[in-house]
Structure 1
Amino acid sequence: MCVDALPPPSGRLTRRGVLAGAAALAGTVAAAAPAAAAPADRDAASPAGRSRSASGATRGGTLVIEGGTLLDPATGDVTENAVVVIEDGTVRAAGPRGSVTVPRGAPTLDARGRWVMPGLVDAHIHLSTAAEARDALRQGATSARSGSTSFYQDIAVRELARHSPGLAPRLTAAGIFVTPDLGETVLADPDLTPLARLDDGVRSAEALRRVVEVNVARGADVIKTRVNERAGLPEQDPLTQVYSHEQLSEIVTAARRHGKGVLCHSYSERGCHDAVTAGIRSLEHGVFVGERTLGEMRRRGTYFTPTLSAIAGLADSADPVLAERGRTYLPVLERAVLAAHELGVPLAAGTDSSGGTVRPIGREVELMRAAGLSALDAIRTATTGAARLLGLERTVGRLARGFAGDAILLDGDPLADAAVLKRPARVVRAGFAL
């Protein structure tokens, strides 16, 4: 079948139809009710009482965070007794008390005895419901990049975050997976259903382009594909390659035609090398990535998102195949992460959370630290580094003038103990204290 012979994806189906359907799947009707919040300081801004713009989008909150120890991941500077002023969801000033003018009557959040950091970035997460989005946010992920969903739920979550930032992280959506077997996902969009007739699945150049085109038409920000089978299914071999270099190049070219980058699920060294040389933007998992490919990644500026916490989680599986896979893969991946870092390959933290279980992004930072990164460099993988991967380096990853008013408050020093990042004492999203 020649998929190219079909008419282009319908733009009219996009914004209302697909977003409305995805919103229902994501559970945003339930999310529209006020989310339960942690007990707030008496004066602290909260998601209640949001102000709306003429378009219906939520304006950011106004909040002053006072008295904490402020860490700037970009510089490594630590400021004691700091003040952060957030107005309309954006940082207007940050620095030591006395150097920052505090607006009269502004709501305040007492951070005395706590460390204050920018909200974290989860660069690989699967958010299919409003409940998952809230869980990620409460665990400190104020920004994230989707690793794909089955029915465009991530696009609905992205819109939910724009209108109700207290309910979801700022999200870069990937839409559906470009994979040989779409399974039930072929029903995610009427423009995909002709692909069900393909005996060999989504493998031809026409079919690969078709899935990319439909994703773009439905509002995807990035494209997700794979080169290897999955590690989390005992019946699959993660070293088996499912797409060739030529097929991956077709996906990358189709994505670039629309200004989109590609993230690629990868495990084997050959698969990793094919994906990187095909031009992907970031390599996901990458357990067996070798020195040759890491050198190519450094030269091209390809990011590495190792999802250490997902691989570590396999070791706890009740399935003996998965448990052995996790125990075997984790030390290999830790060595790959350290080698990548030492070579200068940019790293981004991602949990690969899915299926209703949201892992704390702080756990990924903790594992980056355990792999051999310094505490500050490990923190950067979930702040400034991940922000650059998402194209948000001027928006998130720091609490500095002009950046988003996203913050986490911690009960300990993250430079001394990365474990404190797994349990933020408070989360601030767009100036709203949750």
Structure 2
Amino acid sequence: MCVEPAPPPSARLTRRGVLAASAALAGTAIVLASGAAPAAASGPRPARTGDLVVEGGTLLDPATGEVTEDAVVVIRDGVVAAAGPRPRVRVPADLPRLDAHGQWVLPGLIDAHIHLNTAAEARDAVRRGATSARSGSTNFYQDIAVRELARQAPELAPRLRAAGIFVTPDLGDTVLADPDLTALARLKDGVRSAQALRHAVAVNLARGADVVKTRVNERAGLPEQDPLAQVYSYDQLSEVVAAARRGGKGVLCHSYSERGCHDAVTAGIRSLEHGVFVAERTLHEMRRRGTYFTPTLTAIAGLAESSDPVLAERGRAYLPVLKRAVLAAHSMGVPLAAGTDSSGGTVKPIGREVELMRAAGLSALDAIRTATTGAARLLGLDGTAGRLTRGHAGDVVLLASDPLADVSVLKSPSRVVRSGIAL
């Protein structure tokens, strides 16, 4: 819903510079976590992964709904080597153990819309159970550095699909994120022409973005803006989508109004974000195209709790409409993904989004799938995240009670494991 301001980097930035800086960031984070003295930089450090046996818990496979009591999950080098009932799994004697008796064992959760601007936010996301995520954009490419941090020190950040900078009419200080963007500051009408839109996307892709984030409506989180006002037309959105596709990337689109949602979907976006007033005709189109719906119920519910009367009334009005849209989408077979839209230094638990999906009318298992198997497919991680089967990442959340009986337990994992490293 929003990205909070963050200070720009001090040096001229290139894609090589971003990767080098992020490698240094990862090295620094590893040093700080271990308490060791900094050493001279000598290039990217190899990723730190772990060996671990999680034993004795009740294992839930979100893909099948199968529940296995007294289960064992064996993780080698950060990857699941075996998982299943104790009698069927050979447990190496030399591996460290994590006792999960009396607890439920689920794969690490996925936050499909989050704004991670700092290392502290990245760490908080993991500790709250989001071991994988997709960025909803940042102001100065911090998410690209977080992605590299996660590759080198996975216990410090979620596995991340980075979106780079927001492709929006008014970039504001984000034009300082890259020297190649500063020319856009001279444009009288902002980033609106086909050439300007293509340029903004091209800079993102050159910087290593995995996805492209754009908008069709104004923001709901600012009282002075009208979230039903459309800022990009179908033709402009089509330019963004076409430019992203030329680089082999998909587009996620901030959307609220009925017409805006329809224009975004028919322009070819990969996922519709927020989508409060998405109409039935658009949901049918989404089902036909395989377009994902990331409703960010957590963010809309948060508006209702705002001290600003305009935002509070907006949240109270929008939340029931959005819940109905979520249930309609699910009933039609539109794929759903859970995302908190956390930003501004506060990381919301992805379990809260699952809880709101359940409140919208999804079954507990289907709600859990929006933050596991469903989100994994959206992020292109369906062979890596979302399940605890052989070959998947050794990302685990332990829960104190049965999430199929009460999904709210997902908001407070009792333990998180990231790439075989117990946190």
TM-score with structure 2 setting the length:
0.93
Distance 2:86 2:241 in 1: 49
2:209 counterpart residue number: 220
Distance 1:258 1:356 in 2: 31
Superposed displacement of residue 22, structure 1: 6.8
Superposed displacement of residue 60, structure 1: 1.9
Letter in 2 for 1:67: G
The residue matched to 2:231 in structure 1 has which SS? Answer: coil
Distance 2:273 2:281 in 1: 17
Query: Is 1:89 aligned to residue 87 of structure 2?
Result: no
Superposed displacement of residue 19, structure 1: 4.0
Distance 1:183 1:22 in 2: 24
Distance 1:421 1:357 in 2: 18
Distance 2:22 2:178 in 1: 11
Superposed displacement of residue 104, structure 1: 1.7
Distance 2:233 2:44 in 1: 45
2:3 counterpart residue number: none
Which of 57, 60, 69 aligns to 1:80? It is 69
1:233-277 Cα offsets, whole Å, 9 max, x none, are: 000000000000000000000000010000000000100000000
2:14 counterpart residue number: 14
Query: Is 1:67 aligned to residue 56 of structure 2?
Result: yes
1:139-167 Cα offsets, whole Å, 9 max, x none, are: 00000000000000000000000000010
| Structure 1 residues 271-286: aligned runs within 5 Å | 271-286=260-275
Which of 365, 369, 381 aligns to 1:376? It is 365
Query: Is 1:388 aligned to residue 377 of structure 2?
Result: yes
1:245 counterpart residue number: 234
Which of 139, 144, 164 aligns to 2:128? It is 139
Query: Is 1:291 aligned to residue 285 of structure 2?
Result: no
Asked if 2 retains the 8 angstrom alpha-carbon contact of 1:20 and 1:156, the reply is no
Query: Is 1:118 aligned to residue 116 of structure 2?
Result: no
The residue matched to 1:98 in structure 2 has which SS? Answer: helix
Distance 2:201 2:412 in 1: 38
Asked if 1 retains the 8 angstrom alpha-carbon contact of 2:27 and 2:45, the reply is no
The residue matched to 1:123 in structure 2 has which SS? Answer: strand
Superposed displacement of residue 34, structure 1: 4.4
Asked if 2 retains the 8 angstrom alpha-carbon contact of 1:414 and 1:420, the reply is yes
Asked if 2 retains the 8 angstrom alpha-carbon contact of 1:360 and 1:422, the reply is yes
Superposed displacement of residue 28, structure 1: 6.0
Distance 1:256 1:122 in 2: 23
TM-score with structure 1 setting the length:
0.91
Superposed displacement of residue 105, structure 1: 1.3
Letter in 1 for 2:403: P
Superposed displacement of residue 56, structure 1: 2.2
Letter in 1 for 2:196: A
Superposed displacement of residue 58, structure 1: 1.3
Superposed displacement of residue 23, structure 1: 7.9
Asked if 2 retains the 8 angstrom alpha-carbon contact of 1:362 and 1:421, the reply is yes
Q: How large is the Cα RMSD of the aligned pairs?
A: 1.7
Query: Is 1:167 aligned to residue 167 of structure 2?
Result: no
Which of 158, 162, 171 aligns to 1:182? It is 171
Which of 29, 32, 53 aligns to 1:31? It is 29
Distance 2:137 2:44 in 1: 28
Superposed displacement of residue 35, structure 1: 4.0
Superposed displacement of residue 36, structure 1: 9.1
Asked if 2 retains the 8 angstrom alpha-carbon contact of 1:23 and 1:157, the reply is no
Distance 1:288 1:190 in 2: 38
The residue matched to 2:179 in structure 1 has which SS? Answer: coil
Distance 1:28 1:321 in 2: 41
1:95-115 Cα offsets, whole Å, 9 max, x none, are: 001100001210000000000
Asked if 2 retains the 8 angstrom alpha-carbon contact of 1:28 and 1:129, the reply is no
Asked if 2 retains the 8 angstrom alpha-carbon contact of 1:68 and 1:82, the reply is yes
